[in-house]
Amino acid sequence: MASQSSRGKELELGDAPGTRATLVLGKPTFKTVTEDISSIAEGKPTPKYLLGLMFAVSILCLLVGSLAKLVYSGVGVWGLDNTVFWAWDITGFVFWIGIGHAGTLISAILFLFRQKWRTSINRAAEAMTIFAVMAAGIYPAFHVGRVWVLYWVFPFPNQMSMWPNFKSPLLWDVFAVSTYATVSILFWYVGLVPDLATLRDRAKTKLRYTILGIFSLGWRGSHRAWLHYEKAYLIFAGLSTPLVLSVHTVVSFDFATSVIPGWHATIFPPYFVAGAIFSGFAMVITLMVVARKVLSLEHMITIRHLENMCKIILATGSMVGYAYAIEFFIAWYGGVEYEGFAFKNRAFGPYAWAYWSMVTCNVIIPQLFWSRKVRTSIPAMFVLSIVVNIGMWFERFVIIVTSLHRDYLPSSWTYFVPSMWDILLFIGTFGLFLTMFLLFCKFLPVIATSEVKGVMPQANPHPDHGDHHEEEHDDSESDDAHGEEAHAHG
């Protein structure tokens, strides 16, 4: 029994010569795949799930309370001052926008490159994108102070002839993030339609059947419906692909288009995009490691899926480390005194502890993923994924605060310390994110059923000739023997 389990582990990891790790473990049928995924949404919530949901909602209450205090008293409750006029608010915004990038990359770019290993994780990653954008949207909405006039950021005819400044990258953020959110939601919903129809057909109450019937858009699984579905999915993948690059590029323009030393850098767009994918995949690993265990989906979300994501983290982490080095090189090579001071201040000034925490978490520790033992160890990748996102939060904090707290006038130098409301608001956004993700896991299919079936051997009408080579060889030998015997009788 032990040898069989070890052999199964070997095959899962792809250790057998000439083989690649399978995407769905065991020998499930189409029916069992449907049953395994649908039963999560159809069954009653377990005590563990309810406990996790209560914990997430309690953190969400911190968000509600801190936002109420913010609206009542104003942004003065944050730890901002005249020198450090941006801090945890914009740090949180950039952090959450980055978290959402992995979902779009897995769903769109890997789909266009026909990477089959995306099938078990794309649905949850897409949902994570939407929830991360929701958390990110809180910061620009409430940091304006007067939330009730937030609509002024949108260009619309009005009696005062007041228009937003189209030259401001902050307005570009409004368009970029709103477009990103819209396309992500539509992309996610289109992929859900076939699975919603499956849940509709399995519904046991009329109310559930009606609700799922409305959202499944009358899906019947006909040949024509699948053709339209594939075209729509391909179009949305094509639309989403440039958004992976453009959204965080526009976010980086919040800093790169300024003249503040430490921000005015042309490397910011690719640097921010690589960092966003880096942190996004780390969050996907964090959630998937827990989800596959709690929801008993280890046979569909396999070590191969997690190992591939670890490889992407290793690649993007190396890009981020390269960007850190280039920033210092350009500050020296450019010969601008103020730029050089900004980067020396980052590494050796009052916030040196934050800078070196960032370098350790984002550059040094992810190098452990060069080891296959680490990439295939569930506890190791879980801890490292959390460390990566801690480092990515420090990156945004370092970029923003260390570039502001010491400006051209030494008399205005300061040391930023977050207030209680800064901290509670940031923690509260995790409550929103986790609450939405847990509700998604309970009421909607966590895995794209039809896509998982598509990578199973049963879905291939032309199986690999090599799989049946021995069998065909034996058959041919048997035929030859029968032929020789018949010839002898003749």
Domains of the chain by residue range: 23-149+167-457
Output the six-digit token pair for 469. Answer: 């080579």
pLDDT at 194: 93
Q: Select from 447, 484, 456, 434 the least CA-distant residue to 126.
A: 447
Give tens-digit pLDDT for 41-71.
888 888 888 999 999 999 999 999 999 999 9
Q: Select from 329, 337, 334, 345 the least CA-distant residue to 401.
A: 345
User: Which range has the top average pLDDT, 420-424, 448-452, 472-476?
Assistant: 420-424
Tell me, yes or no, if the pTM score tops 0.95.
no
Contacting residues for 466 by C-beta, under 8 A, at least 6 apart: none
Banded model confidence at residue 479, pLDDT cuts 50, 70, 90: very low
How far is it, in rounded angstroms, from Cα 446 to Cα 125? 10
Judged on CB neighbours under 10 Å (0-12, 13-18, 19+), 45 is middle
Contacting residues for 236 by C-beta, under 8 A, at least 6 apart: 108, 183, 186, 187, 190
How far is it, in rounded angstroms, from Cα 48 to Cα 171? 43
Output the six-digit token pair for 72. Answer: 């009542």
How far is it, in rounded angstroms, from Cα 14 to Cα 260? 50
Chain-centre distance for alpha carbon 116: 18
Banded model confidence at residue 244, pLDDT cuts 50, 70, 90: confident
pLDDT at 19: 53
Banded model confidence at residue 409, pLDDT cuts 50, 70, 90: confident
More confident residue, 12 or 361: 361
What 3-state class would DSSP assign to 315?
helix
Q: Is the pLDDT of residue 229 over 80?
A: yes
Banded model confidence at residue 20, pLDDT cuts 50, 70, 90: low
DSSP conformation letters of 403-443 = HHSS-S-GGG-------HHHHHHHHHHHHHHHHHHHHHHHH
- Determine how many CB atoms are found less than 10 A away from the CB of residue 109: 17
334-353 CB burial, b ≥16 within 10 A, e <16: eeeeebbbbbebbeebebee
Q: What is the mean pLDDT of the chain?
A: 85
Banded model confidence at residue 482, pLDDT cuts 50, 70, 90: very low
